[in-house]
Structure formats: structure tokens, C-alpha cells
Amino acid sequence: MYSNVDELFSKMTKRAKKSAIRELLKLTKKPGLISFAGGLPAPETFPSKELEDITREVLEKESALALQYGTTEGDDLLREQITLRYQKMGLKITKDNVAITTASQQALDFLGRVFINEGDVVIVEFPSYLGALQAFNAFGAKPIGIESDELGMSPVLLEKKLAELKAQGIRPKFMYIIPDFQNPSGVTMPASRRKEIIEVAHKYEILIVEDSPYRELRFEGEPQPTLYELDDRGTTIMLGTFSKTFVPGFRTGWIIADPLILDKFITTKQSVDLCTPAFVQRIAARYMERGLFDAKLNDIIKLYGHKKNIMMDAFKKYLPEGVTWTNPEGGLFLFVYLPEHMDSEKLFMKAVENNVAFVVGHVFYCDGVSGKNTMRINFSYCSDEQIVEGVKRLGKAIREYKD
């Protein structure tokens, strides 16, 4: 290898950092360890038998289409099925508003390619999804976090920050929000707060990116209207995925946007991978067409609601006084707040010694400093017994913590 090979790497490559979550997960491979760290769906929710039948039928009847290159926009039938689904939710869209991506992480990468020049400001929640922060940082963005409360991003603080930036001649490229069962906090933004956020965005002419991977996994409370539906100016971009509601291995997601904006994403995708695999798209489309998606989704919702309740009960029994947590109405995650003096990164090593793992909270804060006393917990993957035992171990680790 050349001695000066580092000089050849691009600025983007040098800025890119490995996922803190992925690196921590390497430490969780020890036998007997119970992991609340990953955002993994429960394997028992995967519709293996149904997919076996559909896959066979697609190969027998549609192989010329399914095994060929596909269009960059995506499989027409899949786009139609996704369009119908969102129309039932209240979105006024057609197939021309939908493009298929290789999961929503690719869509996050495309946001950087389409909108971000080095040094551009983007607005994010505080905390926010680590995968999005990584994608934006790779393109040299300067993320600014807006404090969130139990209702999500604060519109008052948002407007204050946008006014400050405007006075400096700075216009953020977009604001990135997960309004339903937010990752990592699990918080859902009510309709009233969503309307306030949209009003502020319109006032300062800022695009909204609504990331919605968990929306349909609601097991308590009432569904809230999407930001896309509430935005009457077409300035919201919505991202979706099958990774949490269907099968993550298909790596299939989508972008919903005004056709003028969507065209830029399609052009970008042509230079990245030409198209998302046509085979899995057609299988997913036939699965939805048969009505199997909804039937299975109901089972998943019941399962995850049950698992969350098991975890809530275990927290009350086994976590020490001074520890608090969010109580999400859906999704896969909740956020735990330790006493202020505690550092979850130090606690992590003690937890691994006790054969339990989580994700340290500070990685979700764009300043890299805040949230030292927080942790993200996943409740969808482990069995009931593992949840209870894992919380016992976590409680023990917290009690053994020393500065």
C-alpha cells in the first residue's frame, strides 16, 4: 500500500465516521448477552411462508420482468400499492409522487446529495436519528438541534433559531423530523404541534423532511395526521420503509414528494445504483396486493404492544429510583434518563459485564456532548423472558455504577 494513500481520499470519505451503534454492537456478541441495542424487528413477524408462495409465483409468471433491470422510479405496481395506502391515510398523492429507494437510509443519503453543500445548515431534532446525522455530516452539513419536549420539537425554539439564522443571512436547507414514535425518544408529535411546526417552516420557507418508518406500528392512542397531509404548500418530503413493518432484508423504502423535487432524487439514484432490485419490489407489491400486509401488520402491532408493556412493568420493578423513561404509543424504542451525574457510556461497559446492552444516548445529539445520561432501549426484538431478565441486569448495572 502507498505510504500517502490517505491523501487520495475525498473530503466526504474523511468526514465519514463509522456508526457508533454498529461499533458498540460488536461488543454485544458475547454468549448469553441480552441486547436492547439494535433496532431489530422480531424474526417471528417475518411472513416466510407467504413470501415463499409469492416468490415461486413471481418466478413462474413474471420472471422476465422481476429478474430484469427495473426503472429508477421503481416497480409500477409497488408504487401504486404504496400510493393507495397513503391515500387512505389522507395524502393527496398519485404514483407520480412516489419513488422507490434501497431502504430509507438511501433516501437520507440522497437528501445530502440533492440539497447539501459543504457548510450548509440543516435543522434536526435534539436528539435525532443517528443514521440521518451521519448522512448529513458526510456531505459537510452543519446540523443545528432544536430542543424537544414530551410533544416533540419546540416550535418556539425553532422560530427563535430560524430568526437568528435569517439575521445572519443563513437559510437552512431543510428540517428533519420523525413525528411518530421518534427514534430515539419514542415521542409522538400531536397534530397541534405539527401545525405549528409547519407554520414556522412556511414563514421562513424551509423544506420539511418527514421520516416515517414507524408510523403504522401504533398500539396505543390515536393516529395523528402526517406533516405531508397538513402541509398545503407541497414543501414536505416524506420518507418510508418496509424495514420495520415487513422485512428489513428486502431493503426497500420510498420517497414521497412534489414531482419537481422527486425528479432530482430520481436523477441522483441513476448515478448511484440505477434501480432498487426489481425482484424484491415485485414480491413486495404482490404481497400488498393480496392484502397480506395489513393482516400481518395487525399481528405485529399486538406483539410489540405486548412487549412494550412487559418492559414497562419490568422497569417499574427493577430500575432504581431516579431513573425515568418515555412511554411510547408505538414504534420500537424508548429513551431512558439516568440521574444527571451518570454517564451512559461508562455504564455501558458495566452493563456488558452484566450481560445486557443498550445504545448510549449522546450519539443521537448533533452536538456530540449532550445526552450523556441517556440511553436508547429497543423492546421489539427480545422475548418476554429476555426483556424481564435484561431489565434486571440493567438495574443491577445501574446500582453498581461508580463515577
CA angle 179/184/189 to nearest 5° reads 20
Backbone angles phi, psi at 336, to 5 degrees: -110, 135
Q: Name residues of the chain where pLDDT drops below 50.
A: none
Closest-CA residue to 357 (of 20, 19, 29): 29
The pLDDT score that the predictor gives to residue 299 is 96
Last residue of a domain, one of 249, 266, 292: 292
Q: By the 8 A CB rule, do 95 and 328 touch? A: no
Residue 56, domain member (yes or no): no
Closest-CA residue to 209 (of 303, 140, 143): 143
**C-alpha cell belonging to residue 372:** 450523556
DSSP of 50-117, one letter per residue?
HHHHHHHHHHHHSHHHHTS---SS--HHHHHHHHHHHHHHT----GGGEEEESHHHHHHHHHHHHHPP
Last residue of a domain, one of 264, 292, 320: 292
Indicate if 273 and 140 belong to the same structural domain: yes
- Tell me: the pLDDT tens digits for 109-128? 999 999 999 999 999 999 99
Indicate if 269 and 149 belong to the same structural domain: yes
Cβ contacts of 226-232, under 8 Å, gap ≥ 24:
226/89, 226/90, 226/91, 226/179, 227/177, 227/179, 227/194, 227/197, 227/198, 228/91, 228/256, 229/89, 229/90, 229/91, 229/92, 230/191, 230/194, 230/195, 230/198, 231/198, 231/201
**C-alpha cell belonging to residue 25:** 454492537
Residue 59, domain member (yes or no): no
DSSP of 162-211, one letter per residue?
HHHHHHTT---SEEEE--SS-TTT-----HHHHHHHHHHHHHTT-EEEEE
Indicate if 76 and 41 belong to the same structural domain: no
Around Cβ 208, how many Cβ atoms within 10 Å? 25
Indicate if 95 and 183 belong to the same structural domain: yes
CB within 8 Å of 126: residues ≥ 6 apart: 145, 146, 147, 148, 153, 365, 366, 370
The pLDDT score that the predictor gives to residue 293 is 97
The pLDDT score that the predictor gives to residue 6 is 78
The pLDDT score that the predictor gives to residue 28 is 58
Last residue of a domain, one of 244, 270, 292: 292
CA angle 354/360/363 to nearest 5° reads 160
Q: How far apart are CA 57 and CA 79, in angstroms?
A: 20
The pLDDT score that the predictor gives to residue 20 is 61
Indicate if 34 and 121 belong to the same structural domain: no
Residue with the three cell numbers 397480506: 292
**8-state DSSP, 123:** E
- β-partners of residue 370 are none
Q: What is the CATH number of the domain that holds 339?
A: 3.90.1150.10
The pLDDT score that the predictor gives to residue 319 is 98
Q: How far apart are CA 8 and CA 275, in angstroms?
A: 29
Indicate if 91 and 160 belong to the same structural domain: yes
> Residue 299's domain spans which residues?
5-46+295-400
Phi-psi region of 90 (alpha: psi -120 to 50; beta: other; left: phi over 0): left
Handedness of CA 232, 237, 241, 245 (dihedral sign): negative
Indicate if 280 and 299 belong to the same structural domain: no
| DSSP percent split of the chain into helix, strand, coil, nearest 5 | 50, 15, 35
